[in-house]
A and B are shown apart, each in its own frame.
Chain A
Amino acid sequence: MEKLEIKQLTKIFGKRQKQALKMVKEGASKTDILKKTGATVGVYDANFSVKEGEIFVIMGLSGSGKSTLIRLLNRLIEPSSGDIYINGQDIAKMNKEELREVRRHSINMVFQNFALLPHKTILENTEFGLELRGVPKEERQKLAEKALENSDLLAFKDQYPSQLSGGMQQRVGLARALANDPEILLMDEAFSALDPLIRKEMQDELLDLQERVQKTIIFITHDLNEALRIGDRIALMKDGKIIQIGTGEEILTNPANDFVREFVEDVDRSKVLTAQNIMIKPLTTNLDIDGPKVALNRMRNESVSMLMAVNRKRQLQGVVTADQALEAARHHRTLTEVVTKDVITIAKDTLVTDILPLIHDSSSPIAVVDDNDRLAGVIIRGRVLEALAKDTD
């Protein structure tokens, strides 16, 4: 049996819903419907099912209806029509008390902006769901402390949310949901408010956690990479409709239509793919200012073994490797004296196919420069291969 099953779920906001529904069936766009009727289509005719222990990702641009969809699942937003089955029970038909029981025990949510109560401590926040259930204080504190321990936050239990960083706050939000031990976890853009590094950490943590707890997770994101990293299956939404459901591989391989193709950047255009499409941000050292120690320090921080050397005007001067910098530091010489000058440079509009032979011969990355000899980016081997691999699909 499926853990969660959605059948013909639809939500229209505003007035004149009947007319709006008719227009949706005829395939009118969201804007036209809004102009004509004043009604907004949140979600139209969503059908999918999620298995136990699966991470199901719903992806789409802002305004595609993904946040509405996730709120329909626990009826924070009342569906206009359709059915939501959890363990075979239809949530949409439940009365208030039954729905409250479901929310308390089987389906919980993690929010984009954490939604922690500012007047309660971390521990009180974590036990909030249990408190609402009426679990005795001793017991709920024990459970909450355990959940916090799992996410390494026990030391902060008496602090207030405002004293914690964003990543920590979101871990509290997650702990709050997990302390409740729900069967289904809804995550509404849970990592979107965090910076990219923390985001990645959180994704890894979530995957680790999933190995241990095996929850059914509905995860919402607008970020394809995030979806591909954590999703067992992905549903893509546009204008309230689900366009395609499948594994990451399926979606990348067989996009259902041009929209999906564009969305997943599955550019079958390597013929016209140029250097600037695949270059990455260069890690530089400024020869006019930095000494060898600074360069070494930067390499250590960025975990690389070479830096592109530029001058004050960001014009390319060469490459500095870790060995060279170390050498310079030992003999008290400047970076300028040790820099390797011969770097292959290409213009921004060089075709990828032309770059391949160059990179094959070069040990250092290829530098992409603009007309004024300023460094715009670098190209590393992996990116080229990736680009060409797509080409052969």
Chain B
Amino acid sequence: MFLTIFNNPLPVAELVDKTTEWLTKTFSGLFGLVQDLGNAVMNVMTDTLLFFPPIFVIVLLTGLAYLLSRKKTPKAFGLALFTFIGLLFIDNQELWVDLMNTLSLVVVASILSVIIGIPLGIWMAKSNRVQQIVNPILDFMQTMPAFVYLIPAVAFFGIGMVPGVFASIIFALPPTVRFTNLGIREVPRDLVEASESFGSTGQQKLFKVELPLAKDTIVAGVSQTIMLALSMVVTGSMIGAPGLGRGVLSALQKADIGSGFVNGLSLVILAIIIDRMMQLVNVKSQNPLPPLLKKALSGLALVLLLLPSFASFFGNSKAAKKDTINLAYVQWDSEIASTNVLAEVLRQEGFEVEMTPLDNAVVWKSLADGSMDTSMSAWLPVTHGDLFAEYKGKLEDLGPNLEGVALGLAVPTYMAVDSIEDLTSQADSAITGIEPGAGIMASTDNALSAYANLSSWTLEPASTGAMVTALDKAIKGQEDIVITAWSPHWMFAKYDLKYLEDPQKVFGDGENIHTLTRQGLAEDKPEAFQIIDQFYWTKEDMEAVMLDIADGMSEEEAARKWIKANPNKVAEWTKS
């Protein structure tokens, strides 16, 4: 009886799935409300930040940095100078919008962490029992890999800013809670006794003695929380959180070292500025501000507070345009090409377009729950067959937008194998793959079990960019490599590659790329739906765009170039 436990795995995963599902269903109203509210708040905030010209915000933040440094030593320009140059650099790299998105995300996540964390920390400090219960939970929260939070975050709040904030809070909350608890518990015993002996109520003791004395410790905790929230920005971008994280992630997926570095550096600059400012907040002021300056500053703060309403007012007047279309895509080079072209066409027709890069499985999920409008990236019938089966009936399949794609295992032409069945122990019996959630990975897993000669082979997941980089390295060293490949893709134009024959047809027999939309898009946004439905092009079209991007042209530019060159095709899509 007892031994059976060891023979069969306990159904923990199943249990968690069921629980999450139940939660999602039961509280869908609440989650939806939180999502809408959260999105509204974040949008107002980002709009406000973007309402001002960057140079104005830069000067403002530089001034703030100077005033804070001034507290410490009257003549400190270091931080102010760093802030000014750093932010100018980010603006110069055209990452300003991303920076402001990141800033909103970090600020909201941090504020919420503080709102939740400080009371929880106080409660912990007041009760040993609560401390015993909460401490292990905090340990669990901090050691659990952050990726794990993304899954329920998407289930609860769809995609975009809100789940990013949710995941950031879970990840970043512990330091604030711990330090608040610690700070209050460290208040000298005799001071607590003194306030009690004078007849303070619990509240008076907390606000007049404990919190003021624990302040420094609490601020240190909050700084840590902010840094952790910042580090979650990159992770959160996998589920659609906009900002600098997206740049880092897509650089990883496209193996684009330069742009990854620039995005990463921008994050570092932001982190340093925030961290130093937080440290300075804690310093006792030795140089109080002259009253006139104080007045001016508080006036400015008031203006800043009132402006969001103006900004949203102007924003509304701008939104008198046509609908906003939310495009979801995976950052594979093929999908980057098609999504950018579609986005550009829709823009030229007067729509607002939001493009959200996501992990493949999340794309399907976002269409199923209606948080995204459409995606051009379904490889059917085989590659994404299991996803299609899972979400069947929850989204609309508009049929192919590109026919006759190939996928399978590919090798450089200098290798002597021609069929999957010829593989013995080349390339260390390993297949270099892409993101673990991609459809082709599932197909390759099937191939490993379908072909007897692959029984000892392994599939190494990575990312699309990492795979291409590994391929580049192998070809330069004339080494063996087996990759998961698909076309259209520019790697076939750049390198001499060949597909291995697939006698068992594990990788399907000629795939098509389909367009998917959420349910009800045809009724909600008929004009856009018309264009999306009529979008259709060929492998050659796609590869033209892909090559331009691979050669360093920006994605939008490559899309515009193609549209200019193919007016007839575009006219086919846009005719009503």
Contact = CB atoms under 8 A, between A and B. Distances in A.
Interface of A: 71, 74, 76, 100-105, 108-109, 111-113, 115, 117-119, 128-129, 131-133, 180, 186
Given A103-B196, A117-B194, A132-B200, 14 more contacts: A76-B193, A76-B197, A101-B199, A108-B198, A109-B194, A109-B198, A115-B190, A115-B191, A115-B193, A119-B213, A128-B195, A131-B208, A132-B201, A133-B199
B193 A132 contact: no
Contacts of B191: 115, 117
B193 A104 contact: no
Contacts of A103: 196-199
B198 A111 contact: no
A278 B401 CA distance: 110
A129 B200 CA distance: 8
A278 to B, nearest CB: 39
A74 B190 CA distance: 14
A128 B193 contact: no
B204 interface: yes
- Report which residue of B188, B197, B212 has the largest number of chain A beta carbons within 10 angstroms of its beta carbon: B197
Nearest to A97: B201
B197 A108 contact: yes
- Going nearest first, the 4 A-B pairs with the smallest beta carbon separation are A103-B199, A104-B199, A115-B194, A115-B190
A118 B284 CA distance: 13
B208 to A, nearest CB: 8
Nearest to B194: A115
B209 interface: yes
B211 to A, nearest CB: 10
A232 B201 CA distance: 35
Interface in B194-235: 194-201, 204, 208-209, 212-213
B199 A111 contact: no
A262 B112 CA distance: 64
Interface of B: 188, 190-191, 193-201, 204, 208-209, 212-213
Contacts of B199: 100-105, 129, 132-133
Contacts of A109: 193-194, 197-198
Given A118-B213, A119-B213, A132-B195, A113 B190 contact: yes
Nearest to A131: B208
A103 B196 CA distance: 8
A111 B199 CA distance: 15
- Report which residue of A104, A115, A129 has the largest number of chain B beta carbons within 10 angstroms of its beta carbon: A115
A92 B195 CA distance: 20
B293 to A, nearest CB: 23
B198 A104 contact: yes
B384 to A, nearest CB: 62
A131 to B, nearest CB: 8
Nearest to B213: A119
Contacts of A102: 199
A175 to B, nearest CB: 13
A102 B196 CA distance: 12
B262 to A, nearest CB: 44
B93 to A, nearest CB: 44
Contacts of B209: 117
Nearest to B209: A117
Contacts of B195: 128, 132
A74 B198 CA distance: 10
17 contacts: A71-B193, A76-B193, A103-B196, A103-B199, A108-B197, A109-B193, A109-B194, A112-B190, A115-B194, A117-B191, A117-B212, A132-B195, A132-B198, A132-B200, A132-B201, A132-B208, A180-B198
A111 B191 CA distance: 9
B374 to A, nearest CB: 58
A118 B216 CA distance: 13
B198 A119 contact: no
B191 to A, nearest CB: 5
A133 B199 CA distance: 8
A74 B213 CA distance: 25
A137 to B, nearest CB: 14
Contacts of A104: 198-199
B411 to A, nearest CB: 71
B195 to A, nearest CB: 7
Nearest to A118: B213
Contacts of B213: 117-119
Given A103-B198, A103-B199, A119 B193 contact: no
Nearest to B188: A115
Contacts of A131: 208
B360 to A, nearest CB: 55
Nearest to A106: B199
A71 B193 CA distance: 9
Contacts of B200: 132
A111 B201 contact: no
A118 B201 CA distance: 20
A108 B200 CA distance: 12
A180 to B, nearest CB: 7
A111 B212 contact: no
A131 B208 CA distance: 10
A353 to B, nearest CB: 49
A186 B198 CA distance: 12
Contacts of A71: 193
A111 B193 CA distance: 9
A111 B194 contact: yes
- Report which residue of A100, A102, A105 has the largest number of chain B beta carbons within 10 angstroms of its beta carbon: A100
B202 to A, nearest CB: 10
A244 B189 CA distance: 31
Contacts of A133: 199
Contacts of A119: 212-213
A6 B194 CA distance: 22
Nearest to B204: A132
Nearest to A129: B198
Contact of A74 (B188, B197, B204, B208): B197
A98 to B, nearest CB: 11
A90 B394 CA distance: 73
A104 B197 CA distance: 8
Contacts of B208: 117, 128, 131-132
B186 to A, nearest CB: 13
Contacts of B194: 109, 111, 115, 117
A103 B197 CA distance: 6
B203 to A, nearest CB: 11
B190 A76 contact: no
A128 to B, nearest CB: 6
Contacts of A108: 197-198
